[in-house]
Amino acid sequence: MAEIIVGAIATVLFEKLASADFMKMVRSEGLDVQLIKWNKTFSHIQQVLADAGQKQITDRSVESWLHDLQDLAYDIDDVLDDLATEAMRRKLNKEGDASSSTNTGKGKALLKFIPTCCSKLVPHNIKYGHNMSSKLDEISTKLDTLFELKNTLGLAVNVNVERSNGTYKRPQETSLVDESKVMGREADKEALLQKLLGNEACNQNVTTMSIVGLGGIGKTTLAKVLYNDEKAKAHFELRAWVCVSEEFDVFNISKVIFQAVAGRNEEFANLDLLHVALKEKLSNKRFLVVLDDVWNENYVDLDQLQTPFVAGAPGSKIIVTTRKTNVASVMNSSEPYNLDVLSEEKALSLFAQNALNEQSFDKHPSLKLYGEGIVKKCGRLPLALITLGRVLRLKTKDAEWKRVLDSEIWNSQGGSQILPALRLSYYDLPPHLKQLFAIAPYFPRTTLLTRRKLFYCGWHKGEFFFRLDDKMDVYDVNEPFEKFRHVSFIGEEYEKYKKFKELQRARGLRTFLPIALNSWSRFNLSNNVLAELLPKLHFIRVLSLSRYLSITEVPQSIGTLKHIRYLNFSRTSIEWLPKQVGDLYNLQSLLLRDCEKLSSLRVSFVKLINLRHLDISNTPMLKKMPLGIGGLTGLQTLSKVIIEGDDGFKISELKGLTDLEGQISIVGLDKVTSPIQAKDANLIQKKGIDDLVMEWSNMFDGSRNHMIECEVLEGLRPPPKLRELQILSYGGTIFPSWVGEPSLDRLTILRLRGCKRCTDLPAVGRLQSLKELSVAGMDGVKIFSFDLPDSFHGIAFPSLEVLKFKDMQGWERWSTRLGANNDGASRSFPRLREVTIEYCPKLVEVSIDLIPSLYGLSISGCSEVVFKSMVGASKSIGMLSLWNIKGLAEINGEVLELLRSLRKLTISMCENLVSVGEKGTSLTFSENQQLTLPLKSLHITNCKNLKLFPYHQHLESLTSLTELKIYNCPSMECSFLCGSSWPPNLRILEIGGIKKPMSEWGMQSYPTSLEFLVLWGENSGVVSFVGNAKDVTSSSFLLPPSLMYLEIRGFMDVESVSEVANAKDVTSSSFLLPPTLTHLHIHDFMDVESVSEVLQHLPRLKELYACSCPNVKDLPETGTTDPSSLSIVVMK
């Protein structure tokens, strides 16, 4: 990808020569003539770069020329950047001198008599000009040589002008196909056509067919063949084709379908009107809709899209092409059709057709061997074969084909044959997009490169800052370390000094970027190493020391990094930044995220005129904004704003920062004393902001003026494209009207917390896109109602999926009844799937409509009225969690009858609860005594008075149960402990602290599916597990051979671990812990002295964890024991 570098440098050169300040400086140093000559030379070189980029695959001389040109391009970029930085320095210093001199009339008058040309006589400037002149002469000689060599390589001038200037657009996919060019899919077509035209039995009029397979395997092509088949055209009255791709927009997709079936273009004000019209068009008509390249797995989106389809006539079909099997499942597809790669014969024929314009290699036998090798490396994927075949079209020399087959491109495929073959498509991209591919090798393949990450790293169209070579190993002996420009490596917990010592030899290093493989990785590096390294990085552009917790200070030598664009000290232990950071004129991204000890930015940002991104989120000790931040009008990211009142940063200083985007948190709003200043911040015009946090102090004392705070919040009206909004500790008594205005039609998440003085919630029921509403700590609210105008006849909270209430100490009534539409559908919460109510002790009345989609319900610290009312509001609850429900004595059969969809049940800390389901009830059984509840997970813990729970006599009938946790319920009946009465598919079991001690359990034969087992003893915080812990040995346990994790807690008097698990008649030589065990945890074994007997019989053990076992004497150290797999030994 060397041509990226050269093309980018050419762009930079052109832009520099167009800069008045830059040209003024180089003219003063007499350097302008050479730069203008470079401009002409690069103009000629740029014309052949596209051809060179393609020819380097098969021509080593072109590849060598590009690499030499790339090395020189780096040097040129360094020189240009040096010149531009010097021009910037002189300009800023001159402006600073002029500003300070105007304080006295004498100074101002003196400046008039000093001509601009005399600045050249300053000692620093004389030395600088001499040094740069020598560098330019050396580079000019090398550039002339490479330019002459260009003429001998036969490179063609690029005539595709629109691609080079970046205006090329990817062609729109259509449903048309030339079936004569489709090969090897006859059997697939026949099988799918039979399903497409068949009338298989189905409960619905519409059937979904999914074609699933790898990218490039031919899913879209096959769908086109089916769509255009003459039988299909005659069979379906209406047809529509939609290319969905990654951006899933229900409105746009529905509109395309409507246009196709209606035969006209029509505008609709909202999705409801569109779907009504589409449903009418499809009504009683047999239709075919193809949704091509679907990526979205969101159930709500896909279900909403399909709503109008139910009106179709029987036999209507939807074809979905996707790489993801989950998409097929969510769309209720019939069994997905998994498309396989082509046969060897068909793949070779397809490749020949595209490479040679022939059906076979019969006319080119010498190329067949290479062709077979290329087909194999392409994995017989059609798109890869077509793409690479067209690269070789009309190339008939054996050497050219051998060059492709032996190319190193295949070595970087990482298991995917299509990526190397598609590399040619990369050469077809505009130059500014090619630069993205230069960044990609920098990161592990699993790293998600978001738009914001690319911005932070300083990539912008028309500028070039860094690029990654294919070989980045610090210790690569095949490459001289001095030539390395970019270094990326997987960070280690303790970095070796040698690694950083070697970096000092890489004088031209531009990028230093440690990579973390997970979110919790932390690294350590000596402050001395950092102080020694920084002065050597003269040309560094990207420097990341994120996650190095040992770094406590930034050396003052940071100020010598004049080329730096990206500086990342996130998640370090630094407490302040040195003032030298303020001299980094080129700095664009300064990231200090999660620096929890950072308390001061002793830096003036006045000179950081190129700063675009400042991330200071999660810096709790930082109380002041840096000086000059309000003047950085190009700032795009400002994650946190700290309002300091009259003597510091004022909110009105945000006025000029019109380019802010992404997430921004404004804290200290209680210090805003003037509503006019809030309005001057002009948030509504900062249209790039999509995530906004507004935070006041959580101290509600006499200094807070609720009237002013209300007016301040009114003045902070956000931009209409806002997606997330949090209002924290607001001190007003009411919310401004804009909080619930329909103009915030993109708002998806709203969180209100700690607004203690508000007596009403904002009327947000009309927000069409709101998916999550969280309300917490609003003690003044007594009633939650919709508060909608009388003229409102729509659906309240039409998109809401998650609703959370927490710490609502004054909340008494939830009243949101709207009734149903004419068709019986609920007029409120139609998509609500999750409700959480925590610590609302006064809530005693819940009056709500049915919630048809409610799946998850969690209630904590509330009365039983809340529980019973919420359970009665839905018949679709699949997950129920109850914690500390006041006054709840029983959950009777009538309540259980409403929970027939329940899959997970959790009950904890319900001290008054005696029974779940009456004793002897048959409500949970059908007539043939088979359980009807499809429980997969059952947790009952810390309920000291609970005696009965569902299925306590019939656990073996819970065939779907995979997880069971019962502990610290000392009153619980234990009739299920009868040896073999465990659920047959149980995978996870935690048990202990129940009425019957372990000594009375008898022989236990756990299911063979069990993988995770925890046994709780008397000293594990549970009540009375066994009377005498040594009686444990009288019980017998047959642990299943599938067990991988075993945890044993609280057997203080047991002297051997084997006593807990061994049968009483089994000697230590036939130890019963299964050899499959990989994790063994023992806690609170006060008398155990030896564990060596355990290790001898567990060849796969990876972790032995001993906690509160003070008398263990033979615990081995990691790496010194047999089994050799034992990797972690911990003792506390």
User: pLDDT category, 633, cuts 50, 70, 90?
Assistant: very high
In sequence order, what are the residues at sequence separation of 6 or more whose Cβ sits closer than 8 angstroms to the Cβ of residue 753? 726, 727, 728, 729, 774, 775, 776, 777, 778
Tokens of 1067: 């000697």
Q: Would 212 be classed as within a structural domain?
A: yes
Helix (H, G, I), strand (E, B) or coil at 1069: helix
Q: Does one domain contain both 214 and 225?
A: yes
Give the up-direction half-sphere exposure of residue 1107: CA atoms within 13 A in the CB hemisphere: 12
User: pLDDT category, 1057, cuts 50, 70, 90?
Assistant: low
In sequence order, what are the residues at sequence separation of 6 or more whose Cβ sits closer than 8 angstroms to the Cβ of residue 340? 213, 217
Q: State how far the Cα of 1066 lies from the Cα of 273, in Å rounded to an integer.
A: 75
pLDDT at 1103: 83
DSSP code for 313? P
Give the up-direction half-sphere exposure of residue 368: CA atoms within 13 A in the CB hemisphere: 12
Q: Does one domain contain both 7 and 156?
A: yes
Residue 156 pLDDT > 50, yes or no? Answer: yes
Q: State how far the Cα of 1023 lies from the Cα of 994, in Å rounded to an integer.
A: 8
* DSSP string computed for 280-312: HHHTT--EEEEEEEE----HHHHHHHHGGGGGS
pLDDT at 1132: 53
H helical segments located in 872-981: 893-897
The vertex-123 CA angle with 119 and 127, nearest 5°, equals 105
Residue 130 or 711, more confident: 711
Q: Does one domain contain both 456 and 424?
A: no
Domain boundary among 164, 194, 229: 164
Q: Would 609 be classed as within a structural domain?
A: no
Q: State how far the Cα of 273 lies from the Cα of 298, in Å rounded to an integer.
A: 23
Q: Would 712 be classed as within a structural domain?
A: no
Q: State how far the Cα of 1118 lies from the Cα of 1103, in Å rounded to an integer.
A: 10
Residue 36 or 489, more confident: 36
Tokens of 630: 């309000």
Q: State how far the Cα of 839 lies from the Cα of 139, in Å rounded to an integer.
A: 72
Q: Does one domain contain both 22 and 66?
A: yes
With beta carbons less than 8 A apart as the criterion, state whether 192 and 226 touch: yes
Model pTM above 0.75: no
Tokens of 10: 């050419």
User: pLDDT category, 141, cuts 50, 70, 90?
Assistant: very high
With beta carbons less than 8 A apart as the criterion, state whether 445 and 413 touch: no
Q: State how far the Cα of 475 lies from the Cα of 492, in Å rounded to an integer.
A: 16
Q: Does one domain contain both 282 and 386?
A: no
Measuring CA to CA, which residue among 787, 58, 845, 765 is closest to residue 395? 58
Q: State how far the Cα of 331 lies from the Cα of 67, in Å rounded to an integer.
A: 50
pLDDT at 110: 42
Domain boundary among 412, 429, 446: 429
Mean pLDDT along residues 563-591: 93
Q: Would 975 be classed as within a structural domain?
A: no
Q: Would 310 be classed as within a structural domain?
A: yes
Helix (H, G, I), strand (E, B) or coil at 471: coil
Q: State how far the Cα of 574 lies from the Cα of 18, in Å rounded to an integer.
A: 41
Q: Does one domain contain both 204 and 138?
A: no
Q: Count other C-beta atoms under 10 Å from residue 616's C-beta.
A: 23
Domain boundary among 557, 578, 599: 578
Amino acid at 840: C
Q: State how far the Cα of 625 lies from the Cα of 602, in Å rounded to an integer.
A: 10
Residue 320, beta-bridge partner list: 210, 291
Domains of the chain: total: 5
Q: Would 880 be classed as within a structural domain?
A: no
DSSP code for 1054? -
Q: Does one domain contain both 1068 and 1110?
A: yes
Q: State how far the Cα of 185 lies from the Cα of 1002, in Å rounded to an integer.
A: 62
Mean pLDDT along residues 312-323: 90
Pairing of strands 600-601, 613-615: unpaired
H helical segments located in 666-799: 675-680, 706-715
Query: What is the distance in angstroms between the CA of the first residue and the CA of the last residue of the chain?
Result: 54
pLDDT tens digits, 655-692: 999 999 999 999 999 999 999 999 999 999 999 999 99
H helical segments located in 312-444: 325-330, 344-355, 365-377, 382-391, 398-405, 418-421, 423-427, 431-439
Q: State how far the Cα of 543 lies from the Cα of 525, in Å rounded to an integer.
A: 14
Q: Does one domain contain both 457 and 424?
A: no
Residue 54 pLDDT > 60, yes or no? Answer: yes
Q: State how far the Cα of 393 lies from the Cα of 411, in Å rounded to an integer.
A: 23
Amino acid at 557: S
pLDDT at 463: 33
Residue 645 pLDDT > 60, yes or no? Answer: yes
In sequence order, what are the residues at sequence separation of 6 or more whose Cβ sits closer than 8 angstroms to the Cβ of residue 966? 938, 939, 940, 941, 972, 990, 991, 994
Q: Does one domain contain both 315 and 188?
A: yes
Residue 1080, beta-bridge partner list: 1046, 1104
Q: Does one domain contain both 350 and 459?
A: no
Residue 973 pLDDT > 90, yes or no? Answer: no
Helix (H, G, I), strand (E, B) or coil at 451: helix
H or E segment and range at residue 884: none
Q: Residue 348's domain spans which residues?
A: 344-429
CATH number at residue 316: 3.40.50.300
- Beta strands of 90-175 (E only): which ranges? none
pLDDT at 640: 97
Mean pLDDT of the chain, nearest integer: 79
Task: Give the residue carrying structure tokens 């807690």.
Answer: 1049
Q: Would 670 be classed as within a structural domain?
A: no
In sequence order, what are the residues at sequence separation of 6 or more whose Cβ sits closer than 8 angstroms to the Cβ of residue 978? 1002
Measuring CA to CA, which residue among 65, 38, 37 is closest to residue 49? 65
Mean pLDDT along residues 559-587: 93
66: burial class by Cβ within 10 Å (0-12, 13-18, 19+)? buried
Q: Count other C-beta atoms under 10 Å from residue 148's C-beta.
A: 9
Give the up-direction half-sphere exposure of residue 6: CA atoms within 13 A in the CB hemisphere: 27
Q: Does one domain contain both 195 and 311?
A: yes
Residue 467 pLDDT > 90, yes or no? Answer: no
Give the up-direction half-sphere exposure of residue 902: CA atoms within 13 A in the CB hemisphere: 24
Residue 119 pLDDT > 60, yes or no? Answer: no
State the helix-helix crossing angle for 431-439 and 2-17, rounded to 10 degrees.
120
Helix (H, G, I), strand (E, B) or coil at 514: strand
Least confident of 168-177, 809-818, 1007-1016: 168-177
Residue 82 pLDDT > 60, yes or no? Answer: yes
Measuring CA to CA, which residue among 1083, 1026, 1031 is closest to residue 1059? 1031
Q: State how far the Cα of 307 lies from the Cα of 275, in Å rounded to an integer.
A: 8
Least confident of 403-407, 644-648, 998-1002: 998-1002
Q: Does one domain contain both 205 and 320?
A: yes
Q: Would 641 be classed as within a structural domain?
A: no
With beta carbons less than 8 A apart as the criterion, state whether 13 and 38 touch: yes
Measuring CA to CA, which residue among 222, 217, 245, 242 is closest to residue 232? 222
- Beta strands of 696-811 (E only): which ranges? 724-728, 749-753, 772-776, 783-784, 802-806
User: pLDDT category, 465, cuts 50, 70, 90?
Assistant: very low
User: pLDDT category, 405, cuts 50, 70, 90?
Assistant: confident
* DSSP string computed for 13-41: HHHHHT-HHHHHHHHHTT-HHHHHHHHHH
Residue 1074 pLDDT > 50, yes or no? Answer: yes
Q: State how far the Cα of 273 lies from the Cα of 347, in Å rounded to an integer.
A: 48
